[in-house]
Amino acid sequence: MKKVLILFGIFILFSLNFVSAECAGGVTVGNNISQYGITWTFDKPYQCGQFVNGDYWVVGPVTVQSVNPPPTGSGSSFRNGSMVNPRTGLDSKQGYHGNTYDFDASTSTSFPLDLSAGQSLLSSISNADDFRLPNGVYLPIKVIAIITCLDSNPGVDAFRPQYSTGAKTIYHSTGLLTNLLPNLTPASNPPSLESVAAVFEKPWVDHFWEYPGGTLHPHLNFPECTYGRDSTMQVGRAALMLCSDSAVIGDKTILLNRIVQLGIDNYGLVLAGQKWSSQGGHPIGRKLPILIAGLMLNDSEMFGVGTSYPPDSITFGEDHQIAHITQSMIDAIQQPEVSGIVQGATANTVILQEAAYPQSLNDIQKDNEIEIISGRGLGQRRTFLSFNANTKTGTLKTNWDIIPDGTSRYHVIGYESNMLGVAEWGSNLRATGGVQANPSWYAGYRTLVGYTLNGEALAAFMLGLKSAWNNDAFFDYTDRYMNVTAPNGTYPGYRSIDAWTERMWDTYRNCSNGIQDGTETGVDCGGICPDVCEAMTQCTITKAYWKLI
């Protein structure tokens, strides 16, 4: 009988969703709760518990007497700050750390603090001023933990509501449409499920604005992925793990719950005004978790984020930077598209006159093309093998037939009519109508962004999210990028930041195109590819789901 009681007690603890000793029995023990090295102390016991992602909730209103480590200093020396329902968007500020971007002391909360239902308290620990990551980068914030005040117990299957301003909608893990997740055999040498899930253990606090926001990501919350390029790789890899066979990789529940939580948080930020607009590698990787959360929760608003916030809304970096080339983009003058007088030339070089603002010789890259538009050598067109903006000298891939001279006028080529409709990347491609773009494959940040998108795109194909994403150019460009950078492509190399993701692409891309082709017996089902429809009825369920939307 005693053994039975002990087992029953263990079952109760697990059913309470690994409630810690500090919240044993559903009440704060010692009037405090600790997480990630941060301790909140209350004025008396309160009902408490944990969401499915492990973050804590308390039933309020409550009084938080103090937080430890406590906030210290003032002005630029302020450290360990806390914020309640932090704002996001263009005018947002942060109250965590005084000696970095967008600090505003008025946004930092002080203690004792009366916390009401519907409020999220985010508390931080600052890094020492001499802290550096192994790559030498300084990040001011070490970790941020979130505690949420609710008006009642949300249940053991509740996800934490988003932490920014706005509604605190409670979603539940019970009833997630896990039957929509494929169970495909993973490519060789997959990462361990535990290591992938660990990246998303702590909340990805991301309410900061523009590219400086990346330097405010707490590095323990974003392990090895505070930069958008790296976090995008992690999101894509995690999504592909969710599409992999549980019999091979293990139970996907923890990873799924953490990705859904990230989607809930990202969607809350979008509703609060966040825009991850183009800044090279910083603002990418935020959209896919929202779509996955919408799919799994059968939530039409999250699932419809691509329609509600279309590419031209400049909400998500992938959409902001990627579009099909239009005639207006062709007509626009791109960054390297400069004209002037030839200052000098040899058989395989050319020295250019300094260009006028806003175009600059600094924007000319290897692989840009130059044409002589008047004077000696008229009509000749050559490709740069390299260009040195300091000496204004370009080396050419092939020699001139007629060497230009001071009578020659040149023009560096931008987008042309043969690129109409081509899926293209540019740092601010949509916002500037193609002006801040460069047709050269060596345009700054092209490979840095491009080689991290394949996991997102492939997972979206596998999960049937291409239509919901609502930017075909994103998928077309990723196909273009992966083809061009393949070993037999025009520009081999820098194909994928993650080797396993690349192997998944090569294994499954051709049978994840949403088209019945080749030997496939259904849409992306059968033939030479794994028969997902037969195994999981994915196609039927997906169609029924879209009808509900």
pLDDT of residue 390: 94
Are 266 and 260 in contact by the 8 Å Cβ rule? The answer is no
Nearest to 100 by CA among 82, 78, 121, 122: 78
pTM: 0.90
Query: What CA–CA distance (Å, rounded) separates 199 from 226?
Result: 11
pLDDT in tens, 62-78: 999 999 999 999 999 99
Query: What CA–CA distance (Å, rounded) separates 255 from 194?
Result: 8
pLDDT of residue 514: 60
Query: What CA–CA distance (Å, rounded) separates 205 from 143?
Result: 9
- pLDDT reading at 519 higher than 80: no
What is the pLDDT averaged over residues 226-247? 95
Nearest to 51 by CA among 20, 7, 28: 20
Alpha-carbon Rg of the chain, whole angstroms?
A: 27
Beta partners for residue 412, in sequence order: 370
Nearest to 303 by CA among 355, 264, 257: 264
Beta partners for residue 453, in sequence order: none
Strand order through the sheet with 48-50: 48-50, 56-59, 141-150, 119-126, 82-84
Would you state the structure tokens that stand for residue 495, as one six-digit string?
Answer: 């194909």
- In the numeric block, the tokens 């020659």 are attached to 408
Query: What CA–CA distance (Å, rounded) separates 524 from 533?
Result: 8
- pLDDT reading at 518 higher than 80: no
In sequence order, which residues have a C-beta less than 8 Å from that of residue 40 and are 6 or more positions away? 32, 33, 34, 64, 66, 67, 121, 123, 147
pLDDT in tens, 456-467: 999 999 999 999
Nearest to 256 by CA among 266, 246, 248: 246
- Which ranges of 38-147 would DSSP assign to H, the alpha helix? none
Q: How many CB atoms lie within 10 A of CB 354?
A: 12
What is the pLDDT averaged over residues 305-331? 95
Beta partners for residue 298, in sequence order: none
Are 282 and 211 in contact by the 8 Å Cβ rule? The answer is yes
- pLDDT reading at 513 higher than 70: no
State what percent of residues in the chain have pLDDT above 90: 77
pLDDT in tens, 118-141: 999 999 999 999 998 888 888 999
- Beta strand 56-59 pairing with 62-68: unpaired
Q: How many CA atoms lie within 13 A of 127 on its CB side?
A: 19
What is the pLDDT averaged over residues 91-111? 94
pLDDT in tens, 165-176: 999 999 999 999
Please name the helix (run of DSSP H) or strand (run of DSSP E) that holds residue 352, with its range, or none: strand 349-352
The dihedral of CA 331, 337, 342, 348: what is its sign? negative
Domains assigned to the chain: 1-174 (no CATH), 178-330+421-515 (no CATH), 335-413 (2.40.10)
Query: What CA–CA distance (Å, rounded) separates 135 from 419?
Result: 39
Output the average pLDDT for the chain: 89
Would you state the structure tokens that stand for residue 34, as one six-digit string?
Answer: 């600790």
Strand order through the sheet with 113-115: 32-35, 38-42, 62-68, 113-115
Helices 228-242 and 454-462 pack at an angle, to 10 degrees, of: 30
- Beta strand 409-412 pairing with 369-374: antiparallel
Please name the helix (run of DSSP H) or strand (run of DSSP E) that holds residue 423, with its range, or none: strand 423-425
pLDDT of residue 520: 56
Query: What CA–CA distance (Å, rounded) separates 322 from 524?
Result: 25
Q: How many CB atoms lie within 10 A of CB 306?
A: 23
Would you state the structure tokens that stand for residue 267, as one six-digit string?
Answer: 């969607």
pLDDT in tens, 371-407: 999 999 999 999 999 999 999 999 999 999 999 999 9
**Which CB contacts under 8 angstroms, 24+ apart, belong to 326-329?**
326/420, 326/434, 327/420, 328/433, 328/434, 329/415, 329/429, 329/433, 329/434, 329/437
- pLDDT reading at 278 higher than 90: no
pLDDT of residue 243: 95
Query: What CA–CA distance (Å, rounded) separates 346 from 369?
Result: 17
Nearest to 368 by CA among 432, 443, 444: 443
- pLDDT reading at 358 higher than 70: no
Are 438 and 223 in contact by the 8 Å Cβ rule? The answer is no
pLDDT of residue 23: 86
Q: Give the end-to-end CA distance of the chain in Å, rounded to a whole number.
A: 52
Would you state the structure tokens that stand for residue 325, as one six-digit string?
Answer: 């080339």
CA distances from 526 to 196, 243, 530 (A): 29, 16, 6
